[in-house]
Copies of this chain bind each other. A is one copy, B any other.
Amino acid sequence: MTRTQPQPQPRPDTNCRPLRVAVVGATGAVGQEFLRVLHHRGFPIAELRLLASARSAGTEMQFAGQPCRVEELTADSFSGIDLALFSAGGAISKQFAPAAVEAGAVVVDNSSCFRMTEGVPLVVPEVNPEAIAAAGIGFGDGLRPGIIANPNCSTILMLVAVTPLHRAAGVKRMVVSTYQAASGAGAAAMRELEQQTREALDPANNGQVLTKDIFPFQYAFNLFSHNSPMEPNGYNQEEMKMVRETHKIWGDAEPAAITATCVRVPVMRAHAESINLTFERPLTEERARAILADAPGVALIDDRDANVFPTPLDASHRDDIFVGRIRQDISRPDGTSLDLFLCGDQVRKGAALNAVQIAELL
């Protein structure tokens, strides 16, 4: 059995010039994670500028044990900045990312604003790092400032696990059901889940929850179809992101057929996905397991004897995507289909880590 060679995990080049870095949306769940990831990976920083709304300006945050004051985001915030990491929602990206590029910065944008824009590379470092060079974006000679888009969290998690199998046997069709954590809707949604759960457990409330600021219905001990707006075809935007972004990232002449059902579950910060794959060519579960054991960014958690498989809690605060339940799909006896189940930290690999890994590729 031939194993695919592991691809080197992009790591900071310690010889590279330290960068002047801005973090836009520094006080949010992903913004805070940016600071942790930049610090833990030893990202070469000459200057760090934390930017947020006027409401959050003046807040003192910590970076590498040093206090760092949040400034108000304005069109002038990017003067002298090399790299701007955006995670403050699509409207902020739309308004300020062009200004950052104008000021000479490379933007890594975590919003969906520019993901499908022609000329904007949409990158998962383990999957399509070459897309950045192809777009001519970077810091060196002959390279230009520009926007690089960070894909949707559910797309990132899925593609880290599925792409190595796609390369081996050609994914023809994917049926995905997600189990998405509160963090995908931001820090306020995580607080609401916690608050609602306290209320649901309080005998004085008779099982009712009182706080419904973020979601219009009960989230505690409940789940619901993903709250993104519906498209005319009956899929919600989260589901269509998984379809369209995968097509752009893989860039295949004949795109894989994909259907997704996205569901929010009462879990804090790691998403799970149940994925059924149909391939062009047969792929045994043994070969799939060997491929994934060597795949960058993947941790294989697939112990049938002990009934130990990926859980969101185990995957929380971890860089790797946990993959397990890899099995030959009995509904296709010709060996062309597999099922698998994965969990990945939505805030880390689903957002902040992936963006910093993109910056490391520069």
Contacts and interface: CB of A to CB of B under 8 A. Distances in A.
Given A179-B263, A267-B221, A309-B224, A330 B233 contact: yes
Interface core residue of A177, A179, A194, A225 (most chain B CB under 10 Å): A177
Interface string A155-170: 0000000000000000
Contacts of A309: 224-225
A285 to B, nearest CB: 7
A175 B331 contact: yes
A159 B257 CA distance: 26
B266 A266 contact: yes
Interface string A257-278: 1110101011110001010100
A49 interface: no
- Interface on chain A toward B: helix, strand, loop, or mixed SS? mixed
Contacts of A65: none
A264 to B, nearest CB: 10
A191 interface: no
B174 A313 contact: no
A312 interface: yes
A149 to B, nearest CB: 22
Contact of A227 (B175, B223, B307, B328): B307
A230 interface: yes
A313 B218 contact: yes
Interface residues on A, range: 35 or more
Interface in A7-44: none
Contacts of A332: 257
Nearest to A326: B234
B263 A272 contact: yes
A28 to B, nearest CB: 20
A325 B193 CA distance: 24
A261 B325 contact: yes
B259 A339 contact: yes
Contacts of A177: 177, 261, 274
27 contacts: A174-B331, A177-B274, A193-B221, A197-B197, A201-B201, A217-B313, A221-B266, A221-B267, A221-B268, A222-B267, A223-B312, A224-B309, A225-B307, A230-B305, A233-B327, A233-B328, A233-B330, A234-B325, A234-B326, A235-B330, A236-B307, A257-B330, A259-B276, A259-B329, A259-B337, A261-B339, A263-B341
Please give me the 4 A-B residue pairs with the lowest Cβ-Cβ distance, nearest first: A234-B327, A257-B331, A177-B177, A177-B274
Interface of A: 173-175, 177, 179, 193-194, 197-198, 201, 217-218, 221-225, 227, 229-230, 233-236, 243, 257-259, 261, 263, 265-268, 272, 274, 276, 285, 304-305, 307, 309, 311-313, 324-332, 337, 339, 341
